[in-house]
Amino acid sequence: MLPLAFTPKRVRPWLSFDMNSRRFLSILLVLISVRASAGIIVKDDMGREVVLSKPAQRIVSLAPHLTEVVYAVGGGDQMAATVAWSDFPKEAAALPVIGSNNKINYEALLSYNPDLVLVWHSGNGDGIVRRLVSLGLNVYINEPRKLDRIPATLEKIGQLLGRESEAKVVARKFLASFESLQQKYSQLPAVDVYYQIWQSPLITFGGSHLVSDVLKLCGANNVFADVGPLVPRVSVESVLAADPEVIIIGQYTEVDAAFDVWRQWPQLRAVARGHLYSVDPYLLHRHTPRIILGARELCEAINRAR
What DSSP line would sit under 50-94, residue for residue? EEESS--SSEEESSHHHHHHHHHTT-GGGEEEB-TT--SSGGGGG
CATH number given to 41-172: 3.40.50.1980
Summarised one tens digit per residue, pLDDT across range 60-84 is 999 999 999 999 999 999 999 999 9
Indicate where the chain has its CATH 3.40.50.1980 domain(s): 41-172, 185-305
Three-class SS of 236-252: HHHHHHHCCCEEEECCC
Rounded CA-CA distance 173/116 in Å is 26
- The H-or-E segment that residue 256 falls in is helix 255-262
Rounded CA-CA distance 143/82 in Å is 18
Rounded CA-CA distance 211/196 in Å is 11
pLDDT at 10: 45
pLDDT at 21: 55
Fold of 185-305: Rossmann fold (3.40.50)
Q: Is the dihedral of CA 61, 67, 71, 77 positive or negative?
A: positive
Beta pairing class for 191-198 and 246-249: parallel
Rounded CA-CA distance 202/239 in Å is 10
pLDDT at 228: 83
Rounded CA-CA distance 257/277 in Å is 13
pLDDT at 38: 57
Q: What is the DSSP string of 20-32?
A: HHHHHHHHHHHHH
List, for the chain, all residue ranges whose pLDDT scores fall below the cut of 70: 1-38
